[in-house]
Chains A and B, each alone.
Chain A
Amino acid sequence: METLQKIAFNRQGFDALMDLLEQPEWLQDLRREAWQHFECLSWPNHRDEEWMRTDIRAFKLDQYALVAGSSDSFPSGTLSEGVDLGGRLVTLDSMPRVCELEPQWAERGVLFGPLMQLVTEYPDVIRPHLMTKTYNMAADRFAALHAAFWSSGSLLYVPRGVAMKQPLHALLALSDGSADLSHTLVILEEGAEATLLAESCSVPSATNSAPGGFHCGGIEMIIGPGAHLRYVNLQDLGQGVWQFGHQKAVVHRDGSLQWTVGALGSRLSKVNQHVELVGPGASSQVNGVMFTEGKQHLSYHTLQRHTAPHCRSDFLYKAALQDNSRTVWRGMIKVDPGAQKTDGYQRNDNLLLSDSARADSIPGLEIEADDVRCTHGSTSGRVDEELIFYSRARGFTRQEAIQMIVTGFFQQVFDRITIESVREALGRAISRRVREYE
């Protein structure tokens, strides 16, 4: 990667990348397969159910390329403040800049670092999982592009029975106008435990208050039997960035996943977030905090899929929208025929802080088992004037009342997040954002 100059997202670029990367044969095959898909697929458009509310006509792939980063400085991130970390990985414009792992974890077989590098060193660990079951490269053209061109990212592998008490921090920074196609792979073996705090952000630009770029990522997480993963994913990219992502976690028997999403940045995001419960007793909790402003457009398509009996999936997304911003949430709980005793819950609440903001909230259930309990709900509305009046009657100004009510609105999600630094970072970001409200 040292010699990466400029790789365009076309045939020449693909060939150049294949020449450049030193990678095992099987990975080359994967990329070629993905390239085939990319060539066959067309760009999604408004006729596709998933894209009918998300307009990407202004997105032009040829404006972006993989380029070796030019900035030297990068933000330090917000999630790890005051946290005693077990390891740290910083990636700037696809290049790993910092890579640390406490010896005590390395000694116990934990792997944490840049996926590009580790994939050649530890193929036995990685190959069975990388883009096999948890990533569908044919899902859409962005998924195919990602699978063909991914050139950075992170691996976390925790061997059987190792409980990592110290959280890990993975920071991804993107400078104005650049592209990032990073892939995250998390593998927790049976009985392992880990906390991964991941965040992506733009490098502040002196000339552009809304740094742009192209982020086309993929996340795969495999939580083994009885393993427990807490994963936080804070997206605070510049408001000129196009973000696309396919993210999926698979939870095996008696394993658990707590997945917290914070989505604050980007110009447009289209994310598929899937959780699949494949072993009896598996459970997942998904928490989402979104706060949009300006003309931001965030579109989340979530799936809670139950293939095994006696699993629990719990889902709560809350969004506050300002200005002309827009969010789309399409959620689905899918219960396979054998998945009896499923306990599924999904809820999405949206708080509209301006008349021109808009939130589309579309919950869904597809249930093929007969002994299940699945509930869902969604609300969208303005801040209730009666709450404002009650607060003002106790001395709060209108603005103070709204700030407090909005913070309270998110508190229900915060109450579920068990990591203090994450609650604080999200809380700070939210209170910074609440502005005028009429």
Chain B
Amino acid sequence: MTDTLEIRDLHVEIEGRPILRGVNLTIRRGETHALMGPNGSGKSTLGLVIMGHPNYEVTAGEILLNGENILEMEADERARAGIFYAFQRPIAIPGVKLADFLRHATTNVRNPQRKEGEELIPMREFRAELKEKMSQLRMDPDFARRYVNDGFSGGEMKRAEILQLAMLQPKFAILDETDSGLDADAVRLASQSIAEIGGERMGLLIITHHDKLLEHNPPQFTHVILGGRIVETGGPELAAELHTKGYDRVRRDHPEASELNDRNNEVEQPQLAET
């Protein structure tokens, strides 16, 4: 049976404010889905909620991995169950070397039953694998000695996220604007790498505002999210349309969601204006 990640009627609030208002989405392993939508429509929220971020409150709905609800699982249990979220804004962990971080992460994800304190995967084996993956991504091996995301450029952070994806080999990966901040060559390389790493083997949910990433990873499905709801689902042609023409038509066709989206974003503005 193909692994399936299913999101059913998902409602999410943050600090009492609704952000997602009934999201439905099913991803099978091996499929590529694009998730598009204007700023503030809830794309990152969806990714973070699937990963298990504690600040978001799920008020209704379910997230099922092969039929099993994962909402009660902690983020690390979800990671071990095969879910990966590449952060739109990765977090720096000062003083922790990327290689050490990844060795521990890889060990845990590959042996979901591992108890705290048990052996990590052997250093030599790990190093060899890391080196190989880094060379595929054309990353300097010295990069692994730097502290996780600490002082990384925007592009370096995104490449480090792809490296982690390559090492952890999840069943499902949500890539949140993994193409932003990359220069033209890096985007091409990243796109190819993601296709190689993910492609057939993973279920991919690609969140993007650009079309480059999707060129190498043509989505079978394109979803448009607006005001916390998926308002349209189509094929690759929908992604192409949004790239060239923007969201005007979608907004016109879904005035209610469009208004909710704008209202969401407005809340922030008075605060911004004050400072």
Which residues on A are within 8 Å of B, measured CB to CB?
385-387, 389-401, 404-405, 407-412, 414-415
Contacts and interface: CB of A to CB of B under 8 A. Distances in A.
Interface of B: 51-54, 74-76, 78-80, 84-85, 87, 90-96, 100-102, 104-106, 108-109, 116, 147, 164, 168
Contact of B74 (A385, A392, A412): A392
Contacts of A389: 53-54, 75, 91
A391 B74 CA distance: 12
A396 B112 CA distance: 11
Given A395-B80, A395-B168, A400 B95 contact: no
Contacts of A414: 95
Nearest to A413: B95
A405 B85 contact: no
Given A393-B52, A398-B74, A404-B101, 16 more contacts: A392-B74, A393-B75, A393-B79, A394-B164, A395-B106, A396-B76, A396-B105, A397-B108, A405-B96, A407-B95, A407-B96, A408-B147, A411-B147, A412-B94, A412-B95, A415-B95
Interface centre among A399, A400, A407 (most CB of B within 10 A): A400
26 contacts: A386-B91, A389-B91, A390-B90, A390-B93, A392-B74, A392-B75, A392-B76, A393-B52, A393-B78, A393-B87, A394-B102, A394-B168, A395-B79, A395-B109, A395-B168, A396-B104, A397-B116, A398-B74, A398-B76, A400-B104, A400-B108, A404-B100, A404-B104, A407-B95, A408-B96, A412-B95
Contacts of B90: 390
A396 B109 CA distance: 9
A319 to B, nearest CB: 15
The 9 closest A-B pairs by CB, nearest first: A411-B95, A408-B95, A395-B108, A392-B75, A390-B91, A408-B96, A394-B105, A395-B79, A392-B76
A390 B85 CA distance: 10
A391 B104 CA distance: 10
Contacts of B93: 387, 390-391, 404-405, 408
Contact of A409 (B84, B94, B116): B94
Contacts of A394: 79, 101-102, 105, 109, 164, 168
B59 to A, nearest CB: 20
A385 B51 CA distance: 15
Contacts of A387: 91-93
Contacts of A398: 74, 76
A391 B95 CA distance: 14
Nearest to A411: B95
